[in-house]
């Protein structure tokens, strides 16, 4: 009896909100939102996963019997109402929004009134966050890399209790890192009031290299009159704080964050070549592990600050935002591929968080930015004419000159690129 109440012939009973109807067919679509970036002279595309696609549900529905007209009115009312409602299909149940309710005369049957219904599954999420808030989340995620870097260095680095050349090698690695950071500092234009402090931070990293590279456990010692053993551990936290602090200081003091992002690319590729191709002793192996760990600290810190610099850069159009998002994603992915061992898991998670936050920021930013359009005229016109014709604002003439790299603003090309708004 239940099957008969829930079905008429081949039609199964369904409902949307309080409205009941019969379903002839229903389709549920799901998948991922993928953006495929293809680059010149590269055989492999970059596929960017933008998240799960909104589930779309299509239903061919009928209302029937003596109360068909009332049922049709009820269904239309539910579809017109604001907010999500429960859609109950023969095999599934979803909380959905009605996107479209179409009276489908072509599918009417004797005694049946047909509708084509389209639904979008409710996500239950909040509205998109402001761009400034998402940029702040990138900064917080970047700062969150320091703790796992310290844990990684504490688990790997060791100079105490080993031959002197191991400590010297670790100090040399720290000084090499300081020299690389100083090269970036010297290249970037910095705020006048911040430049001296940045220089001191980098110089301090170089001068304290031996002290900062002293990591490990001091063995038990006995005083001349004491029989109680003491043990002390020297953490790598001061080293990580000094390296990440110097890189952050350089980025924060830069007058142009886009330039800072470009220069930090050098530090993001920082590495220290092994002093010997073949390692014969455990002490020599530890020397190379120490140098490799210092290089990892520099790369991860530089990538984190580069992500922050990109989010704080002045990006005016969608093309630039897409390029920035793809660039930092590729750089972060390259480092994530290098973090493969178990003790690197914490750093992997922290850097993955940076990647997710920066992608979220640029994806939200794209919604606010204007696309680039190409416009042309049959005669050469000055930039002031173009700015007034396109925007009604002659003050934007300089923007058009800079975008099209024009030598003289009075002689613009016949075809130019401009923001759509």
| 277 lies in the same domain as 304 | yes
Q: Residue 5's pLDDT is what?
A: 45
Q: Across residues 179-183, what is the average pLDDT?
A: 95
Single residue among 63, 95, 121 that ends a domain in this structure: 121
User: Taking the C-alpha atoms of 219, 224, 225 and 230 in order, what is their torsion angle to the nearest 10 degrees?
Assistant: -10
Single residue among 121, 148, 183 that ends a domain in this structure: 121
Q: Residue 220's pLDDT is what?
A: 56
| 282 lies in the same domain as 237 | yes
411 pLDDT more than 90: no
Encode the chain in three state secondary structure: CHHHHCEECCEEEEEECCEEEEEEEEEEECCEEEEEECCCCCCCCEEEEEEECCCEEEEEEEEECCCHHHHHHHHHHHHHCCCCEEEECCCCEEEEEEEEEEECHHHCECCEEEEEEEEEECCCCCCCCCHHHHHHHHHHHHHCCHHHHHHHHHHHCCCCCCCHHHHHHHHHHHHHHHHHHHHHHHHCCECCCCHHHHHHHHHHHHHCHHHHCCCEEEEEECCCCCCCCEEEEECCHHHHHHHHHHHHHHHHHECCHHHHHHHHHHHHCCCCCCCCCCCCCHHHHHHHHHHHHHHHHHHHHHHHHHHHHHHCCCCCEHHHHHHHHHHHHHHHHHHHHHCCCHHHHHHHHHHHHHHHHHHHHHHHHHHHCECEEEEECCCCCCHHHHHHHHHCCHHHHHHHHHHHCCCCCCCCCCEEEEECC
Within a domain: 126 = no
Within a domain: 23 = yes
Within a domain: 376 = yes
Q: Residue 225's pLDDT is what?
A: 46
| 66 lies in the same domain as 95 | yes
Single residue among 85, 102, 121 that ends a domain in this structure: 121
Within a domain: 67 = yes
| 51 lies in the same domain as 163 | no
| 220 lies in the same domain as 89 | no
| 95 lies in the same domain as 70 | yes
Query: Between 266 and 6, where is the model more confident?
Result: 266
Within a domain: 188 = yes
Within a domain: 334 = yes
195-222: pLDDT as tens digits: 999 999 999 999 999 999 888 876 555 5
Q: Across residues 247-264, what is the average pLDDT?
A: 93
What CATH number is associated with residue 25? 2.40.30.200
Within a domain: 412 = yes
| 241 lies in the same domain as 285 | yes
95-105: pLDDT as tens digits: 889 999 998 88
304-319: pLDDT as tens digits: 999 999 999 888 788 8
| 211 lies in the same domain as 142 | yes
65 pLDDT more than 80: no
- Stated pTM of the model: 0.66
Within a domain: 256 = yes
| 82 lies in the same domain as 222 | no
User: Given pLDDT bands bounded at 50, 70 and 90, which one contains residue 266?
Assistant: very high
Range from 236-250, 296-310, 405-419 carrying the lowest mean pLDDT: 405-419
| 391 lies in the same domain as 358 | no
228 pLDDT more than 60: no
Q: Residue 278's pLDDT is what?
A: 64
| 321 lies in the same domain as 209 | yes
| 205 lies in the same domain as 108 | no
Q: Across residues 13-22, what is the average pLDDT?
A: 87
Split into its structural domains, the chain has a count of 3
Residue 257 lies in domain: 131-367
User: Given pLDDT bands bounded at 50, 70 and 90, which one contains residue 37?
Assistant: confident
């Amino acid at each position: 009896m239940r099957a008969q109440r829930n079905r008429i012939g081949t039609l199964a009973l369904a409902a949307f909100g309080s409205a009941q109807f019969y379903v002839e067919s229903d389709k549920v679509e799901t998948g991922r939102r993928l953006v495929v970036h293809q680059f010149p002279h590269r055989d492999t595309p970059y596929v960017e996963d933008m998240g799960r696609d909104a589930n779309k549900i299509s239903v061919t529905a009928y209302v029937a019997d003596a109360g068909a007209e009332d049922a049709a009115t009820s269904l239309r009312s539910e579809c017109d109402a604001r907010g999500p409602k429960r859609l109950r299909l023969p095999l599934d149940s979803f909380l959905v929004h009605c996107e479209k309710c179409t009276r489908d005369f072509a599918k009417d049957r004797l005694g049946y009134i047909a509708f084509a219904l389209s639904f979008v599954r409710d996500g239950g999420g909040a509205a998109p966050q402001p761009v400034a808030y998402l940029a702040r989340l990138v900064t917080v995620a970047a700062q969150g890399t320091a703790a796992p870097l310290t844990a990684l260095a504490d688990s790997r680095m060791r100079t105490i209790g080993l031959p002197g050349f191991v400590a010297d090698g670790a100090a040399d690695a720290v000084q090499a890192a300081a020299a690389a950071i100083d090269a970036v500092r010297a290249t970037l234009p910095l705020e006048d009031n911040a430049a001296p402090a940045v220089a001191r931070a980098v110089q301090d990293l170089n001068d304290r290299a031996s002290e900062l590279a002293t990591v490990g456990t001091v063995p038990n010692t006995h005083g001349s009159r004491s029989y109680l053993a003491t043990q002390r551990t020297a953490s790598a936290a001061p080293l990580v704080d000094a390296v990440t602090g110097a890189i952050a200081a350089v980025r924060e003091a830069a007058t142009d964050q886009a330039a800072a992002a470009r220069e930090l690319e050098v530090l993001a590729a920082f590495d220290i070549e092994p002093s010997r191709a073949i390692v014969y002793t455990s002490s020599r192996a530890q020397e190379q592990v120490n140098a490799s760990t210092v290089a990892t600290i520099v790369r991860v810190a530089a990538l984190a600050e580069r992500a922050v610099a990109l989010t704080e850069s002045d990006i005016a159009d969608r093309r630039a935002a897409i390029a920035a998002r793809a660039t930092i994603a590729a750089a972060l992915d390259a480092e994530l591929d290098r973090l493969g061992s178990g003790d690197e898991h914490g750093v992997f998670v922290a850097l993955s968080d940076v990647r997710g936050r920066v992608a979220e920021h640029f994806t939200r930013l794209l919604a606010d930015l204007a696309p680039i359009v190409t416009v042309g005229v049959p005669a050469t016109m000055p930039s002031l004419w173009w700015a007034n014709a396109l925007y009604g604002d002659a003050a934007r003439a300089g923007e058009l000159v800079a975008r099209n790299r024009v030598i003289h603003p009075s002689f613009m090309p016949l075809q130019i690129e401009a923001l759509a708004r």
